[in-house]
Structure 1
């Protein structure tokens, strides 16, 4: 099975308490390294959460480009005999960005300027990535045994939505 098929079958599912914990970890991260913002996405480019000064960025575009850049870099790594690179770094005149692979399914992008030291971003990013991996593993373990009533409720909601769309647009 290809990586993309595996990702589609095993989509990330986060519960509210997971997102709250992820948000706390990322807020602490920004405070410690004094970066402008951080963005957490899945490898497909879907935004999970973000913190800091992101208003100046079109987040949908940023997420898509981050995922695409990481996918291209994975191919570069394979050409060089590596499985993949776990960290990407791009330096600009004003801002720089570092992207870390977190676990095997998410990317943490950190945008920072010259007020922030690259070494500090690298060091704290490694620690934060390990903390996020633990949160993801805990979330995944909960996902393996979902509450049957929740699954049934979601299925019924999907059926109700389909019925509503059929009523609005007519069915074939």
Structure 2
């Protein structure tokens, strides 16, 4: 997937997917970043107070660190990461080798339900990217 030449129409379609699959579900904020921490797009519920730029940079570093740990234990990768807090949770999922989808959500959403919606959203996002670049 070459996200470097994403059209405005593709970004709007991806934002619609993020809004319908994740924000509507109750996710506070969802970000798609590249592995360097650059934001491709971000959506929130209108109430989130996250500094998405700092978050994206730290998330990329976190994912890279865990990727290195996976290799130390003989895994090719850990394609999913989850951090659970008392009030807030963070879910990372790879879209492809270049992109991560990061969801920040509260305790009212079950991890299983979120993961199901993330998988569906990623499938739809891949189709949008392939439609414009394939």
Q: Above 0.5 in TM-score?
A: yes
CA–CA distance in 2 between the matches of 1:132 and 1:37? 17
TM-score between the two structures when normalised by the length of structure 2:
0.90
TM-score if structure 1 supplies the norm length?
Answer: 0.71
Q: Which runs of no fewer than 5 residues in structure 1 stay unpaired?
A: 1-9, 142-172
Pick from 35, 48, 69 the counterpart of residue 43 of structure 1: 35
In the TM superposition, what is the alpha-carbon distance from 1:72 to its structure 2 partner? 0.7
The two structures, once aligned, show a CA RMSD in angstroms of 1.6
Structure ranking higher on relative contact order (CA contacts 8 Å, 6+ apart): 2
Post-superposition, which runs of at least 4 consecutive aligned residues in structure 1 deviate over 4 A? Answer: none
Deviation by residue 1:95-148 (Cα, 9 ceiling, x = unmatched): 00001000221111111111111111011111111111222222332xxxxxxx
1:78-97 matched pairs, under 5 angstroms:
78-97=71-90
Of Structure 1 and Structure 2, which has the larger fraction of its residues in helix?
A: 1
Contact 1:33-1:120 at 8 Å conserved across structures: no
State the match for 2:12 in structure 1. Answer: 20
Gaps in structure 2 of 5+ consecutive residues: none
